Structure formats: C-alpha cells, structure tokens
C-alpha cells in the first residue's frame, strides 16, 4: 500500500536530481523504494564527488567577499543547484549569514536541490524564523517531498514552529507520508497533538487514508492508541470509511494493532461498524491476522462482537480454510476469551476438525 | 555499454539487477549526463561570478578558486 506511493516519491526525487522528466524513469516503478533511495544517495555522492575540489574552493572563496556580494553572485551566477551543492561546505555561521540575506523564494529553490545529509550542521544553525519562512514558501509550491526530507533534521522547537504555519491538515499528512526518517513521526505527532482530530477527519474527507494509515503504522503504541480513540469517537461514516480504506489498501496489518490499542468502548463501536461485518472484509482480517501473527491483536475485537456477528465470523472458517489459520487460532487459545474459544470450537466441530477441538481444550 | 556501477562508483542496490540491460544503461547515461551538465554549470558559474567581483578583489578570489 504505502510502497507504491513511497516509490513514487523516490522517483520524483531522483528525477529532480538527474534533471529529467518523470516519464524518463517510468521503468523504475519496478524497483522498491528503499533501493531507489539507496541509488539516489549514491548518485548524489557521485555528482558531488566529481566537482568536490572546485566546490570547496568556491566555499572558501565566498568567505573573502562581503555577504551582500556573495548573495548577489549566488543568485546571478551560481543558481540554486550549485548553491545547494556548496551549502554543506560552508562554515555554518557564514552559511546562515548568507542565507539570511537571500530572498525566501531563492532559499526555497536551494532547499529543493539540497541533500540534507550533506548539510546537517548548516540546517541546524538556520534560525527558526528563516526555516519557517522557507517552509511556508515550499507549502505554497506543494513541495511536500522536499519538506519531508528536512523534517528529521529540525529541532523540536523549529518543527513545532513550522507545523504551526501549516494550516491545512492535509499538508501535514502529505509531508508525513513522504518523510525520510520516519522514526521522527512520533515527534511530529507530539508537536501537532492539537491537530490529531483534524488529521483523522481530513483523512476521511479528502481520501488521504493511505497517508494516515502509513503515519499510524509508524507511531509508538501509545500514540496509536490516542489516534485510535480519536477515530473511534468520530461518526459512523468516518469509521466505516476507515474500514473500507483498510480493506482497499490492504492495510489490516496496520489497523489491527491500532484496534488492540483502543479503549474497550472505542473497540465496541468499531467492531459494530457495518463495513466490518462484510464477509470479504472479515476474510481479509482473518488472513492478515494469520499472515502477520496478529491474532492476539484481533481477539479483543472479536470478543466485542454480538452473538450473531461472532457466528458470522466463525462461519468464515470453512472446510478449505488453510491449516495455518487453525494453527494460529490454537496458538492463541490461552488469550482467547471463553466465548470466542467456544464459538471457534463449535465451528471446528461442524467441520469435523477434531484435532482443533482437542488442541483448543489442551 | 556503460555500466551503472562504473558511473556511480559502486554497485547499485541489488534490486536494480531486475532492470533490463537497456534500462540500466539508460539510467547510467542519465547519471553521466547529469554529472557532465553539473560540471559545465559550475564552469560557467565560476566565470560569471568573476564578472560581479570588484577588480580589487578579483585576483584574490581567482587564486582562491584556482583559476
């Protein structure tokens, strides 16, 4: 699910780096996103190393000139591509002095071309107001890919200030989705805590479930629980939308652990959603629980099902249900609530699965 | 045929083995072209920049740039 969109983001970045149209790289859609990112870093290193000595001299020469003249030359002679290539070679204080005198739109152009790996000290030295100004310009240009590259290089304070200037929750979801260094997503959520209800609603209203589910999938358990309870407090349309999205995006491996983190009341509401009782959905849920070892996460939701819904659930266990599913159920027998175990055993009896009945009793 | 590994100076991630030889060659050509264009851009930028530098500083800057 997320792989397709991540791959698209990586191809976009590579196309920019090579100065080509996306259509020239269409064959790269067969390559996984992490490999594309690895190649992009190799290409960046190659492009840099070819001119490294001259770029170092340029960086050194810039210190000989007054800052206003450096800024003028940067804009008129070097342009954003070469400025980006040189940025990481400047002393951070000097780089900040130059950046502070550059027009914001030019800084945004440089940022689009900059590999943050090559300039972490410079990025860290840029004052928050300047980062925020550039972020606002990048937002105007819908440069979510670029913004996502820099999030993990910002301090918490700067990140908080930048997020405060992103009025549209959809933009936060889009930036989070293409973020490099998703381990920083917990921090992003922390600084945007007051935006969580808006993020959930926006995911529904603007069909950004892929982005929202990817975000959720990378969060710590307690943050997932927080988002899960926020979602569960929403109206039925939104919850049914979440179920449909999990089904269409094949994202039950992300949603099931989230349901396990829900409060009992939230879980009851979620389990009662009509979209969840569709046989094809329940089959997907069973398959996902089996493939991803998520039966422990699924059991609490199954336990909240009404008697009729539970019967419908176990009715999906059929004669041709793979042994691996029965084995997975047996494996969690100790965690299985009694009514669920009884329902599974009853179904196993109907199907003549004496082996399962014995194993559940053991 | 230009090998992608030769152009980037190291073997690419092994997933790129799944591309056809033509596709890998096309990619290698794009990388080579980008490197060439960047180098030419830098040549022009250095030349252009010297025109903006006051005569008094130009010699010092040229020495620093190695031109």
Closest Cα of chain B to A42: distance in Å? 6
Residue A60: closest C-alpha in chain B: B64
Q: Is the pLDDT of residue B24 over 80?
A: yes
Residue-wise pLDDT for A296-320, tens only, equals 999 999 999 999 999 999 999 999 9
Would you call A77 and B31 a contact, using CB atoms and an 8 Å cutoff? no
Interval B20-27 mean pLDDT: 94
pLDDT of residue A221: 86
* B48 → closest Cβ in A49, A58, A77: A77
Q: Is the pLDDT of residue A362 over 90?
A: no
DSSP summary character for residue A293: T
Residues from chain B that touch A46, judged by Cβ atoms under 8 A, are 7-9, 31, 35
Q: Is the pLDDT of residue A119 over 70?
A: yes
Closest Cα of chain B to A184: distance in Å? 25
Closest Cα of chain A to B45: distance in Å? 5
pLDDT of residue A261: 85
Chain centroid to Cα A324, Å, comes to 30
Phi, psi of A293 (to 5 degrees): 55, 50
Report how far residue A58's alpha carbon sits from residue A64's, in angstroms, rounded to the nearest whole number: 10
Q: Do the Cβ atoms of A57 and B65 come closer than 8 Å? A: yes
Residue-wise pLDDT for A75-105, tens only, equals 999 999 999 999 999 999 999 999 999 999 9
pLDDT of residue A298: 94
Would you call B23 and A27 a contact, using CB atoms and an 8 Å cutoff? yes
Residue position matching structure tokens 């983190």: A261
Report how far residue A249's alpha carbon sits from residue A7's, in angstroms, rounded to the nearest whole number: 16
- Percent of chain B whose predicted confidence (pLDDT) is above 90: 55
Would you call B10 and A42 a contact, using CB atoms and an 8 Å cutoff? yes
Is the Cβ of A77 closer than 8 Å to some Cβ of chain B?
yes
Burial class (CB in 10 A: 0-12, 13-18, 19+), A103: exposed
pLDDT of residue A205: 97
Closest Cα of chain A to B61: distance in Å? 6
Beta-carbon pairs below 8 A across chains A and B? 109
Residue-wise pLDDT for A155-192, tens only, equals 999 999 999 999 999 999 999 988 888 889 999 999 99
* B64 → closest Cβ in A46, A64, A73: A64
Within 10 Å of residue B56's Cβ, how many Cβ atoms? 7
Is the Cβ of A45 closer than 8 Å to some Cβ of chain B?
yes
* B45 → closest Cβ in A45, A64, A82: A82
Report how far residue A309's alpha carbon sits from residue A318's, in angstroms, rounded to the nearest whole number: 16
* B35 → closest Cβ in A42, A47, A60: A47
Nearest to A252 by CA among A277, A281, A225: A281
* B64 → closest Cβ in A19, A31, A57: A57
Is the Cβ of A48 closer than 8 Å to some Cβ of chain B?
no
pLDDT of residue B2: 62
Interval A289-299 mean pLDDT: 93
Closest Cα of chain A to B1: distance in Å? 18
pLDDT of residue A2: 58
Residue A47: closest C-alpha in chain B: B35
Q: Is the pLDDT of residue A207 over 90?
A: yes
Closest Cα of chain B to A92: distance in Å? 20
Q: Is the pLDDT of residue A74 over 60?
A: yes
Residue-wise pLDDT for A12-71, tens only, equals 889 989 999 999 999 999 999 999 999 999 999 999 888 899 999 999 999 999 999 999
Sign of CA dihedral A199, A202, A208, A209: positive
Tokens describing residue A190: 């922390």
Residue position matching structure tokens 């040229």: B62
Would you call A42 and B8 a contact, using CB atoms and an 8 Å cutoff? yes
Report how far residue A230's alpha carbon sits from residue A5's, in angstroms, rounded to the nearest whole number: 26
Q: Is the pLDDT of residue A217 over 90?
A: no
Tokens describing residue A187: 């921090």
Q: Is the pLDDT of residue A237 over 80?
A: yes
Interval A330-358 mean pLDDT: 94
């Amino acid at each position: 699910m997320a792989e397709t969109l991540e791959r698209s983001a990586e191809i976009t970045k590579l196309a920019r780096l090579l100065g080509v149209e996306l259509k020239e790289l269409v064959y790269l859609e067969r390559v996984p996103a992490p490999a594309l990112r690895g190649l992009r870093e190799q290409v960046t290193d190659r492009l840099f190393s070819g001119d490294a000595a001259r770029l170092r001299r340029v960086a050194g020469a810039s210190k000989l000139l007054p800052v206003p003249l450096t800024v003028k030359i940067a804009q008129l002679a070097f342009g954003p591509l070469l400025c980006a290539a040189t940025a990481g070679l400047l002393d951070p204080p000097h780089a900040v002095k130059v950046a502070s005198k550059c027009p914001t739109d030019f800084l945004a152009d440089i940022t689009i071309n900059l590999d943050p790996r090559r300039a972490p000290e410079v990025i860290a030295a840029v004052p928050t107001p300047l980062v925020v100004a550039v972020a606002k310009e990048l937002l105007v240009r819908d440069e979510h890919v670029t913004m996502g590259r820099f999030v993990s290089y910002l301090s918490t304070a700067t990140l908080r200030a930048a997020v405060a200037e992103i009025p549209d929750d959809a933009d936060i979801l889009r930036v989070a989705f293409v973020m490099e260094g998703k381990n920083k997503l917990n921090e992003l959520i922390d600084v945007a805590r007051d935006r969580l209800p808006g993020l959930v609603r926006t995911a529904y209203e603007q069909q950004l479930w892929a982005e929202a589910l990817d975000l959720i999938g990378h969060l710590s358990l307690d943050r997932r629980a927080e988002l899960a309870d926020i979602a569960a407090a929403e109206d039925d349309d939104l919850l049914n939308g979440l179920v449909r999205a999990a089904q269409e995006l094949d994202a039950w491996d992300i949603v099931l652990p989230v349901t396990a983190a829900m409060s009992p009341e939230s879980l009851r509401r979620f389990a009662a959603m009509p979209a969840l009782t569709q046989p094809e959905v329940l089959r997907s849920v069973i398959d996902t629980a089996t493939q991803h070892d998520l039966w422990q996460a699924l059991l609490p939701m199954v336990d909240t099902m009404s008697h009729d819904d539970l019967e419908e659930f176990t009715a999906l266990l059929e004669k041709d249900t793979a042994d691996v599913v029965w084995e997975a159920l047996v494996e969690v027998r100790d965690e299985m609530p009694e009514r669920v175990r009884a329902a599974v055993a009853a179904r196993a009896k109907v199907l003549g699965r004496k082996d399962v009945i014995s194993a559940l009793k053991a | 045929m230009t090998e992608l590994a030769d152009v980037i100076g190291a073997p690419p991630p092994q997933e790129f083995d799944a591309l056809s030889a033509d596709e890998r060659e096309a990619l290698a050509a794009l990388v080579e072209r980008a490197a060439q264009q960047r180098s030419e851009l830098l040549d022009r930028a250095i030349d252009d920049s010297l025109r903006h530098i006051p005569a008094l500083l130009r010699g010092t800057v040229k020495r620093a740039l190695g031109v």
